[in-house]
Amino acid sequence: PGRQHNASCPAGGRPAADKRFRLPVNLRSASPWAYRISYDPTRYPKYIPEAYCLCKGCLMGIFGEENFHFRSTPVYMPTVILRRTSSCAGGRYIYTEDYVTIPVGCTCVPEQEKEAESVNSSIDK
């Protein structure tokens, strides 16, 4: 699928808190995400919403500035779908179970540095 985004990273542009209107969790997160719909006519369900991260870094600080010492990364959930086969029985399609991982949101993780990798490798030994 294409990587077209229908939203952009809201770094530094968070609206002031308004008690009458509350943004959804995916836009209030330090690692905001949006959804695109995946369509596959040979799958049940045919339509599956998939999350994608809006920012490369994570929104930190009081003004929500993008911090590149952290990175936004998708969170995946394993799920079962039904995949249509080329076989039919009694005039109906035959489906088989298929296990797929679907991005359901985004989270912040620290950006790994060369020094951190060398420290961790010595701890593992």
Domains of the chain in sequence order: 25-110 (2.10.90.10)
| pTM for this model (two decimals) | 0.76
Question: What does the pLDDT read at residue 63?
Answer: 87
Per-10-residue mean pLDDT of the chain, 125 residues long, equals 61 67 89 97 97 96 90 97 94 94 97 59 51
Burial of residue 106, with CB atoms counted within 10 A of its CB: 0-12 exposed, 13-18 middle, 19 or more buried? buried
Angle at 61 between CA 57 and CA 62, to 5 degrees: 135
**Tokens in use for 63?**
């003004």
pLDDT number for residue 2: 41
Position 65 scores a pLDDT of 92
